[in-house]
Amino acid sequence: MLTEILRKHLSQNPQIPYELKKISEYLEMHLNEKTKIKTLCHYAYTNKNKLQKYCKYYMNSTINSYLAFMRLKKVIALFNNEKTTTARVAVAVGIQPNNFSRFIRRTTGMSVKEFKEAIKAEYPLNTTKKAFQLPKTQSQFTPGR
């Protein structure tokens, strides 16, 4: 589901460089792993400066912010499953369970409990299946610090 949405989003904008498309694909496949910029550069056959410049220009965010955005989308999708525990969600998105509440607090400004309640209110399980939708523009995501 998430993969299809991102592919559609990236394919609709032919101006996005090949390197960023490769990075997005890599992050989708390896979201649950610790990712370094050096690894991303190697995968996309580019250097760090060029990659950071492309991210800032085309996505209006840093690579780390984009990765947090992708992780947050997956967290929302996983929290919609009532049987999923917080620890399993943390591992599924590549965050240590003891750091997960800090990640949620920094990216959303809410505690994990408040975030779960907000998700349940916005994406109720008893309605028809709706895929998580991307914001209209990438710039709508601004992680907290």
pLDDT band of 7, cuts 50, 70, 90:
low
Residue 40: domain span: 2-129
Residue 25 within any structural domain of the chain: yes
CATH code where residue 108 lies: 1.10.10.60
Residue 95 within any structural domain of the chain: yes
Residue 141 within any structural domain of the chain: no
In this predicted model, what pLDDT tens digit does every residue of 34-67 receive, in sequence order? 888 888 888 888 888 988 888 888 888 888 888 8
In this predicted model, what pLDDT tens digit does every residue of 70-98 receive, in sequence order? 899 899 988 887 778 899 999 999 899 99
Residue 48 within any structural domain of the chain: yes
Residue 121 within any structural domain of the chain: yes
Residue 22 within any structural domain of the chain: yes
Count: domains in the chain: 1
Does 101 score more than 90 pLDDT?
yes
- What DSSP assignment string belongs to 49-92? HHHHHHIIIIISS-HHHHHHHHHHHHHHHHHTSTT--HHHHHHH
Assess contact for 93 and 75: CB atoms under 8 A.
yes
pLDDT band of 139, cuts 50, 70, 90:
very low
Residue 18 within any structural domain of the chain: yes
Residue 99 within any structural domain of the chain: yes
80 CB neighbour count, 10 Å cutoff: 18
